[in-house]
Structure 1
Amino acid sequence: MGEPVWGPVHQDIVGLLADHPADVPAVVDHLTKLQDLLVRLPPLERSCPLADFNELYLTITTSVLNGLYDDRFADPVFLARLDVEFAARYFDALRYWTESSPATPRAWACLFRRMRGPDARPLPSAAAGVNAHINFDLPFALVTTFDSLESEPVDGTDQHRDYLEINQIFAERIPELRRGYLDNWQLMIDMLNGDIDDWYQGELVEYTRNVAWRNAQKIWRCRHDPEARECERVRLDDNAAALGRLLLSPLGAFLQ
């Protein structure tokens, strides 16, 4: 029998993934507990590539929760439901990987494989996780959310505006998040670039989330056609996996 996927914290992670969070505070709690476990995972421990993404995800989700508390959103029921469905897909991918299941999305597998080395730099690791979560998970989380609320993805609605408001949360948090992943020499370049890198990455997040919305609309139209929906799943998984491999490659690390 091989070594457990998660090494010395395997049983703790299995227990954590045994149930789905039911609301946004529970999502934040799950992500916090997962972060505490990931930074104990050998051989990389605190430099675990998945922890680099999970930390970013925890920060953004905490900001979303604060926005819900502060009445930032026009349709908080929609935003909270989407947050839960979105997180469920991440936790499902982790569960599949834990079980060594072939159902693990390829978009996620390319990052999960890096947990035992070779080491991946923090910023590319976080970017690869964002890629898998937005380009693959998000369109399906949107469809599930709209289906459960008996609504639909229509441009210009309160739900769409709330969805776009998350872009603003990213824009608010990206500068401090990105600089937290940089080495000293990268910080020097970042200082010379001024706000250009922050602007560029904010624009990239906005573009990527807009594409996810369009893909959700496409899946919504074929949601009752299992064959067409599966074709979309494979297409998005393949595309996100290809981008993830690029982000984690030496070229991807250099470009970031």
Structure 2
Amino acid sequence: MVGPVADGSGAADVGTVVGVGTVIERMRGLRSGWPPRDGVAVFNEVYLRVTEALGARIGYGAFADRAAVSALDVRFAERYLAAVDTAEAGGDPPACWRPLFQFRGHPGLRPLQFALAGINAHIGHDLALAVVDTCRALDCAPRDLEEEFERVGDLLAVLEEQIRDGLMPGPDLLEVADPLTHLAGVWSLERAREAAWTAAGVLWRLRGLPLLAEEFRARTDAGVGLVGRFLLTPCR
């Protein structure tokens, strides 16, 4: 099981996942164990597509610093996998993930809501911690990862648009009146990415003050969880 250490730093035990390919295989294994309509399975499928696309780009040299991108991607994925492990063991995952796990079988929720709730948790809370984890592992500062962070973010933006197009209600005269259209419109990946980058900088500056760093992380976690609960408002 992969999970954060309880020292207030947000650092993860990163020795258990050794590459992007291992992360992909783990998510494929999770997919085979859950029914397709399960809310966590919906997000897992979305995240698997993102990670496969990123792994392919790393493989053919789309990134100048392949090692840094791989390290960031793996440590980012470990945060999600840790939440899954905790929930599957009957524990409480971080607050940002709890709405998705609690409402994963709700019949009044739509696939896009599950996808957005998972993306919100992962970007809003986990991404900043993954940046700090990667900086610790590579002995660098967040500014040294900014180019990789932005290029990965550009890929996420393209895939998010495809996800919305694939999971939104079909184009018809009632689409504008569908509550899901309005609910999905209030969340922005771009704003979540910007907030994650800012949070990573704050956590990096607080790395010598573990109690304060943990308080900041916990408050961020709670706020992201509140947004996730809103995104999982039943629409039918």
**Kept in 2: contact 1:49–1:119 (CA 8 A):** no
Query: Paired residue for 2:45?
Result: 55
Aligned residues: 215
**Kept in 1: contact 2:24–2:52 (CA 8 A):** yes
SS of residue matched to 1:120: coil
The answer to whether the aligner puts 1:208 opposite 2:195 as a matched pair is no
The answer to whether the aligner puts 1:114 opposite 2:73 as a matched pair is no
Classify 1:189/1:81 alpha carbon distance in 2 versus 1 (closer, same or farther; 3 Å).
farther
**Kept in 2: contact 1:107–1:241 (CA 8 A):** yes
- Runs of 4+ off more than 4 Å: 189-192
Distance 1:217 1:164 in 2: 15
Q: Bigger CA drift: 240-249 or 25-34? A: 25-34
SS of residue matched to 2:135: helix
More helix by share: 1
The correspondence for 1:124, drawn from 113, 132, 137, is 113
The correspondence for 2:203, drawn from 219, 222, 238, is 219
Query: Paired residue for 2:75?
Result: 85
CA displacement, residues 195-252 of structure 1 (integer Å, 9 cap, x when unaligned): xx9xx97x922221121011000000111212111101211111111000000013xx
Distance 1:190 1:92 in 2: 40
Q: Gapped runs of 5+ residues in structure 2?
A: 1-14
The correspondence for 2:157, drawn from 171, 187, 190, is 171
Instruction: Return the offset for 1:188.
Output: 2.9
**TM superposition score normalised by structure 1:** 0.77
The correspondence for 1:101, drawn from 72, 85, 91, is 91
Q: Gapped runs of 5+ residues in structure 1?
A: 1-18, 40-45
Give the number of the structure with larger relative contact order, counting CA–CA contacts within 8 Å between residues 6 or more apart. 2
Instruction: Return the offset for 1:190.
Output: 10
Instruction: Return the offset for 1:164.
Output: 0.6
The answer to whether the aligner puts 1:69 opposite 2:41 as a matched pair is no
The answer to whether the aligner puts 1:23 opposite 2:2 as a matched pair is no
Q: Which letter maps to 2:30?
A: L
CA-based RMSD of the aligned residues comes to 2.4
Distance 2:132 2:68 in 1: 12
Instruction: Return the offset for 1:169.
Output: 1.1
Aligned residues with identical type, % of pairs: 30
Query: Paired residue for 1:228?
Result: 212
Please tell me whether Structure 1 or Structure 2 has the larger radius of gyration of its CA atoms: 1
Distance 2:126 2:233 in 1: 22
Distance 1:224 1:110 in 2: 32
